[in-house]
Every structure is written in C-alpha cells, then in structure tokens.
C-alpha cells in the first residue's frame, strides 16, 4: 500500500516577508520607542484634555485594543516589540548585571500584585483622563525595566515583574501560534543547548546570539507561558531548528504538561491566582466603566460615612477581586471535589480548574477593549493633526474633530460574539480538565465549573449592555 506523506507544518519564520519582519526585532522596537517618547512629550507638554492628547488616547483607547488583537491573532507580538527592552539592552552595555533574581521573588507574585495595583490606580487616579499621569507612567515603566534588569541577570522584569507581561502571558494561551522545534530528533542530538544558553558569534565582527533569558528550554517548552516571542532561541539555534507554527489555541490550559521554566500549571499556585485575577479583574475593570458603579460607590460611601474615594474603591476591590472569587471558586471546588477520585484540599481543586476561566477572561477583556477601540478607531487622527500643527507641521491638514469609529449598534454584536466565544472556550477547557481529573465522573466534576462559567458570562453580558463611559475621547464627553 502506498502511503501519503503528510503536509509540512506551516512556519511563519520561513514565510517570505513575514519571517524577515519577525526576525528583525529592531524594526519593531525603534518605531515604538520613538512613539513612546512622543507620547511622553505630548503627555507632559501637550494639551491636558485627555481627548486632545495622544498619550491618553493612544495608550488607553488604541494600545489596549490592539494588544488583544495581536495576542489572539499572533501571540505575544507586542512583548517582542517592547521598546522598554531596547533601552534595557542599551543600559546593559554599560552595566552588566551580575546578581541572580531573589528566589523569594520568583514566580508571578510580584507581577500579580502590580497588576492589581495598576487596576486600582487606574480607577483611583483616573489615569485615562490625565495625559500628565500617563506620561509619567510610561517613564516609570522605562525606569523599572532598566533598574531591575541592570541589577539582575536574565529577564526578571519580563518574567516576574511586568504587569503587562503577566497579562500577555495569560492571554497568549489562546494564541494560534507557538514556538517549537521543527524536528525533535535534532534537539535530542544537540549538545550545546544554544536555544537556552546562547551561541558564540560565527564571525569576529558579529555579536553573540543570546539564548532564552526567561529560562525556556525549547525541546521541553510547553505552551506560551513566559514566552515573549523575542525569537532569541531562533537566532541562537545552530541547526535552524525552531519554527513558529500553528497549534490548538488554549490546549496548554488543559493538557497540563510539565514545561521548561514553568512546570505544571496545576501545581503552580501563582499561575492559578494569575488566571483568577485576570478573569475577575476583567469583570471588575468593565464594572468600573459602566453607570451602575456610581450607585454602588455612593451606597458604600453612605454606609462607611466617608467621602474618601480610596476607601470606597478599596472596599469595591476587596469585594469583587477577593471575596467574590473566594466564595464562587470555593463553592465550585467543593461541589466538584465530590466527583474526584482522591480527596483533595479545596485549594488544590481550584488550582487545577482555575485555568478553565482564562478563555472567558480573554473574551471579556477583548469585548471591553474592543468596544473602545472600534468606537474610537479614528479619534487619533485629529489629535495627531493638531499635535503636528502645533509644532509647525501642518502635514496632515486641519483637525477634523468629528471623526470617530464604528457605531455602538455595530460593535455590540461583536462584543457579544467575543463573550460567547470566550465562554465556549472555558466550557471546553473545564470539560477537558474534568475528564483528566475524574475520568469516570467527568460530568459531575465539570458541572459546577460549567455553572460558574455561565454565571460569569451572564454578568459580563449584563455589564457590557450598560451605558459605558467613552473614556479618553470626545464621544462620551
């Protein structure tokens, strides 16, 4: 019998033009660095009205929406193009880091705390309305990236500190692409492990190719967690044995294979907490931008007898980001545990099933940020026109302040579709996790988590059906 050869897997790195663009990281980083500097300058010295300033408009309306688009279509593309790393690499030529990142700070705990802090400060200080504050936030990011990675070797800022990076790591689980070996047999015979350790220069005038600074050994890598798509492993591999190819989005959430630099997700409490904060933070962030939040804040203020926004927001965050997740997850875990073959502590059950919430969380973030991006799609045009005109370059003509984006009636079905896709993904992941944890009673193990997904989906649909503030644009004042 004749056998039909299987078609080779697609590899974006070998695709004409696309592969060349991906491998030339500086082509992405330099323009974004110049853009970041322009945002800082306009935020500090431009008009302090948010809809007329590029810093608030591009950061809080456009960047966040495009971030989700990139994550869902390609993966961690914006981490690859991160301008902070360009400045960090330049600083490391002057001061080479010699210290190892403290063991007590490894994992995601610092990044999770900073992610919560960013969500809290965003609401407390109205960053979306302050070009000045947004500019200083960008400068603070540059300072933090340089300070951490000049003092400590590897890439601890990306791996453990950066809140945007932690957000990206979670969402990139749904990316359709992943870096992996083309031929595992080539890796089996490899002696130098250059994808991890780096490679010496092939010529005296060429720089050495560094390996993965995040500690991901490619043959043992599992999924996209901690992968910034920097492609250092591609440049270092002497056999050209690394590919960027397609995979089943979200598979890493339920396969639970031990991966290099990550281990098993089900055994990582920090990864479980990151998934929980990511999902419930999506609902909290959306709640902070709809009309009912003001009634809730007034009720809390009246009960406390205070006018302190800090106190009111603290209560709201504790209720929605601590109390609510604890009650819902503990209830689902207690119900699900009855079907498991071994009697596990509730915390262990939550750790095993928490990853099932990630697709819904991605759907909520995408629907929320997508709303702002699509309804304010062209709002940057008049702001850019005005900024250039103020500098004496009327290259883009006079500002046309009436431009906006898609109508809400058009965007709302897209939002609903993203929520439903996210919920369907969470259902699938929870079902596969239940099959793995309780093969003989999978339906009973799955039921509470399926019910939780439906409950959170209903909350998300209700939230996004409320009037939402058009922050940072003239569309909503």
DSSP class of residue 99? B
The predicted model gives 349-372 an average pLDDT of 96
- Say what the pLDDT of residue 200 is: 79
User: Is the confidence at residue 336, as pLDDT, over 50?
Assistant: yes
Q: Which of 43-52, 170-179, 268-277, 397-406 has the lowest mean pLDDT?
A: 397-406
* Cβ–Cβ < 8 Å for 223, 175: no
Tokens of 33: 């660095």
To the question of pTM greater than 0.85 for the whole model, the response is yes
pLDDT-derived band of residue 6, with 50, 70 and 90 as boundaries? low
- Say what the pLDDT of residue 166 is: 97
DSSP class of residue 177? E
The predicted model gives 158-167 an average pLDDT of 97
- Say what the pLDDT of residue 467 is: 82
User: Is the confidence at residue 476, as pLDDT, over 50?
Assistant: no
Q: Which of 41-55, 69-83, 146-160, 385-399 has the lowest mean pLDDT?
A: 385-399
* Cβ–Cβ < 8 Å for 75, 224: yes
Q: Which residue has the higher pLDDT, 391 or 299?
A: 299
- Say what the pLDDT of residue 400 is: 79
User: What residue segments make up the domains of the chain, in order of their start?
Assistant: 11-246, 274-466
Percent residues over pLDDT 70 in the chain: 95
Q: Which residue has the higher pLDDT, 234 or 206?
A: 234
pLDDT-derived band of residue 352, with 50, 70 and 90 as boundaries? very high
Neighbouring C-beta atoms of residue 144, cutoff 10 Å: 16
Rounded to 5 degrees, φ, ψ at 466 are -80, 155
- Say what the pLDDT of residue 475 is: 47
Q: Which of 79-83, 93-97, 250-254, 390-394 has the lowest mean pLDDT?
A: 390-394
- Tens of pLDDT, residue by residue over 88-107, are 999 999 988 989 999 999 99
The predicted model gives 231-259 an average pLDDT of 92
pLDDT-derived band of residue 351, with 50, 70 and 90 as boundaries? very high
- Say what the pLDDT of residue 368 is: 95
| Mean pLDDT taken over the chain | 92
The predicted model gives 359-364 an average pLDDT of 98
DSSP string, 265-314: GGG-HHHHHHHHHHHHHHHHHHHTTBTHHHHHHHHHHHHHT---HHHHHH
User: Is the confidence at residue 32, as pLDDT, over 60?
Assistant: yes
CA dihedral 23, 260, 171, 85 (to 10 degrees): -50
* Cβ–Cβ < 8 Å for 118, 163: yes
């Amino acid at each position: 019998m004749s056998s039909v050869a299987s078609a080779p897997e697609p590899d974006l790195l070998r695709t004409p033009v696309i592969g060349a663009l991906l491998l030339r990281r500086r082509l992405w980083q330099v323009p974004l660095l110049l853009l970041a500097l322009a945002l800082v300058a306009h935020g500090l010295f431009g008009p302090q009205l948010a809809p007329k300033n590029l810093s608030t408009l591009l950061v809080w309306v456009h960047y966040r929406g495009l971030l989700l688009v990139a994550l869902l279509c390609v993966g961690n593309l914006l981490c690859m193009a991160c301008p902070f790393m360009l400045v960090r690499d330049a600083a490391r030529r002057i001061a080479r880091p010699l210290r190892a990142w403290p063991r007590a700070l490894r994992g995601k705990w610092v990044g999770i705390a900073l992610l919560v802090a960013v969500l809290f400060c965003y609401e407390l200080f109205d960053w979306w309305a302050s070009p000045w504050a947004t500019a200083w936030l960008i400068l603070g990011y540059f300072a933090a990236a340089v300070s951490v990675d000049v003092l400590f070797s590897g890439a601890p800022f990306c791996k453990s500190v950066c809140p945007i990076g932690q957000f990206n790591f979670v969402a990139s689980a749904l990316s359709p692409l992943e870096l992996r070996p083309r031929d595992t047999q080539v890796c089996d015979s490899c002696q130098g492990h250059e994808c991890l350790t780096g490679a010496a220069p092939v010529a005296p005038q060429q720089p050495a190719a560094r390996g993965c600074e995040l500690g991901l050994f490619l043959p043992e890598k599992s999924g996209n967690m901690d992968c910034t798509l920097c492609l250092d492993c591609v440049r270092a591999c002497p056999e050209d044995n690394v590919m960027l190819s397609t995979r089943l989005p979200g598979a890493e959430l339920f396969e639970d294979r031990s991966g290099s630099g990550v281990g098993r997700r089900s055994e990582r409490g920090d990864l479980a907490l990151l998934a929980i904060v990511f999902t419930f933070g999506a609902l909290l962030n959306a709640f902070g931008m709809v009309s009912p939040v003001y009634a809730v804040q007034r009720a809390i203020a009246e009960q406390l007898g205070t006018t302190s926004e800090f106190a009111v927001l603290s209560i709201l965050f504790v209720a929605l980001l601590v109390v609510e997740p604890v009650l819902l997850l503990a209830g689902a875990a207690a119900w699900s545990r009855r079907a498991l073959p071994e009697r596990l502590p509730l915390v262990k059950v939550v750790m095993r099933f928490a990853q099932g919430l990630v697709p819904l969380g991605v759907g909520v973030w995408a629907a929320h940020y997508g709303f702002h991006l699509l309804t304010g799609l062209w709002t940057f045009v008049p702001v850019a026109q005005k900024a250039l005109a103020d500098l004496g370059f009327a290259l883009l003509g006079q500002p046309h302040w009436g431009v906006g984006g898609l109508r809400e009636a058009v965007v709302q079905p897209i939002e609903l579709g993203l929520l439903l896709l996210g919920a369907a993904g969470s259902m699938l992941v929870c079902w596969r996790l239940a099959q793995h944890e309780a093969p003989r009673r999978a339906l009973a193990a799955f039921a509470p988590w399926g019910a939780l997904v439906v409950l959170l989906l209903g909350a998300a649909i209700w939230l996004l059906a409320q009037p939402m503030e058009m922050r940072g644009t003239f569309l909503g004042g």
